[in-house]
Structure 1
């Protein structure tokens, strides 16, 4: 086996002390030495294929400079984009992100958290799934730094960064009302997750404020991992009622994609016959002849704040920070 290159090997090649090599390779700024010396050391390290001894580094600093990121569903464009932005944000702070997807399964979620802790991550950023409250409470009891992102539980006193989902759904429904929709429906997930229940409440509150009190029948729920036929059935039910809907709000971009596939087979024109709005953008909906109006979640801001809060928590700041960010209604052709 080829011998690993050490700091001493680099020092001998450049003609400097081992301590100086260590200082340069472990610090972004070299204010105490010349730029030329720092350049030579980094160049030699690169040519000699030097790799940092992470075990030794973690023993010295009591850190692994890794963050565990648990997301709910990597196939969902929202979560894949969020993961990428968090990864980029963490890299700027010299942290590596390890990513796992729970697939909306609480057992897999808890297993991922345990795996990350076994790997000695310094902290966790978590998009939780339903049924994981006990796992999160264990993290709190064991003083493990973590931040919830997108989803949180009001009963758990923890750091989080999330969208103001009530206001976002209220705003989206008001947009449908403002363009003349008289019978508005919503298709969303049948889940007790707080972010999803807030979207339902925002939708119903907007209808109530505009005089639509008998509105529960216009709220259709599908399972969290709904198949195409389940979404089609929900949309068909709303379109075939005694007062067919002329406006639809979708509780997620995944539901929207499935619904639009079905709507595109019907003798309806969007938005003339049926106006549509969804949560979160997705490239596939841009291919529809009437690109969907949607609620944009500020992913960059969410990722930046979640990462900053976690790093602060890992520096032994026990203050709880809870951030609700406003979404932005992006108006396009569908509504």
Structure 2
């Protein structure tokens, strides 16, 4: 009885201790874990937070010789120039269209893949298939783009050989504006959905197996168990991943498009990332490129905040 009373007193004193002291005590208690986290924090600070200072370039006539401290301020001059540029507006429109397509395929495909892998009962086949769908994630877009180009080649490509076999005529599909966006969406989903499915597979593995057993006892079919047990169980993970995905709505994939597009499909394939690369690196107009990048960041942040609030109102789930 006395020991329980002492433990109760210790708990009361700990609760009454200043918040700063409790935080310091927690940090000291888990100091080794915080030490493991330190390299990641340093990396994020150097590559994510320090470059934010570079946004000021968008508001000045940047001169490479004078640097940021010696360049003159230009106000909103470059933002106005962007919205008066037809090339920027075309890139902006293409970015939104391609990303909306990718959000549908790139968000739904990993969920469907995770559900399908979870239903496989033969362990060796399940592990083999998981490895096969993960592998493309570790291939760079330089190599992957080369493989796609070979597959779609009008002369030796496997796709065109199949078209000829069915009586059609070969075509250079990567140079056809009508097919280019479809190719971007399909190849992106094929490359990334295996890796993106890992999070959903982990969320499914954390579900209580007793719920599945109860559903089987109640006579639920496999599809009904997916619909009424698995999907509601991972709904929080789905919402969080969707919010994070919306944050990249203005980034349609520089690595992919720069390795696949050509002047023939510039009208449908030029996005903000390629526009910024072309203006900033090839034309050395750093201020204009920084202004375009700032617009990307502002829209992405706004979309995350809006989507998070909507998700919290609908499902009471969000990232903050």
TM-score grouping bracket, smaller chain normalisation: under 0.3
Normalized per residue, the structure richer in strand is 1
Instruction: Calculate the TM-score normalised by the size of structure 1.
Output: 0.26
Q: Which structure shows the higher helix fraction?
A: 2
**Bigger RCO of structures 1 and 2 (CA < 8 A, at least 6 apart):** 2
